Amino acid sequence: MNNAQSPNIPLTVLATNGNGKRPHMAIGLYDQPDYNLIDFPGTGNEYWMVILDRSNLKVVENFSFIDGSTIPPKMNSYLDNSEYLYVLTTANQLSASVPTGSFYKWLISEGAGLGLRRVERAISALNCSGYLFFSYTLIGIFGSGDSGSLEYANLVDPTLFSPVELMPTTIDGKTIYSPVVLK
């Protein structure tokens, strides 16, 4: 029986910040056979959610949404299911669209913290509720709270680069993936 652990798999997320470009997300490396460039389904000034099956890294949901005050209905069946990993990022998001309401509460419960607070502080301090763009990414496992979630935020540069790896773990013969910081 081979107990050798598989290598981590790169997960790359590029959130855009007011530059009119589309965000990008990829699993793996471009020249590898399992490379998966995930298409952004939206047009801009919105959030982008990709939900992955942790056992095989297949995309089970890929959608964008504008309303940052409520949890999108497409997320409901995954919220407490740790068999799925989420990648939330932004596409040219304006400061007037900073999360609020139940969506904000969900972000906090899933580990949003300093990055989101920095975005909120800048918008509040500069009184720029409509013209400041921000980039934000939160990656984690549904229902795991803030354990293991990774957060990135940016207000200055036009693109936010979030290099993450997906670490395989085998439990009872089943391999599942968890997000970890690139080392």
pLDDT in tens, 6-45: 789 999 998 877 666 788 899 998 888 888 999 998 888 8
Answering whether pTM is above 0.75, one says yes
pLDDT number for residue 127 = 67
**Element spanning 174, H or E:** strand 174-181
Contacts of 96 (CB under 8 A, 6+ apart): 129, 130
Asked whether residue 183 carries a pLDDT value surpassing 70, the answer given is: no
Mean pLDDT in residue range 107-135 = 79
pLDDT number for residue 1 = 46
Asked whether residue 98 carries a pLDDT value surpassing 70, the answer given is: yes
State which amino acid sits at residue 147. Answer: S
Contacts of 70 (CB under 8 A, 6+ apart): 101, 102, 103
The per-residue pLDDT for range 131-166, each reduced to its tens digit, is 677 888 999 999 888 777 888 888 765 555 566 788
pLDDT number for residue 148 = 78
Query: Which candidate, 11, 20, 23, places its Cα nearest to that of 136?
Result: 23
Evaluate whether 34 touches 168 at the Cβ level (below 8 Å): no
Q: Which two tokens stand for residue 124?
A: 């509040």
**Element spanning 68, H or E:** none
Residue spans per domain, the chain: 9-181
Q: Which two tokens stand for residue 140?
A: 């984690």
Evaluate whether 67 touches 99 at the Cβ level (below 8 Å): no
% of the chain exceeding 90 in pLDDT = 41
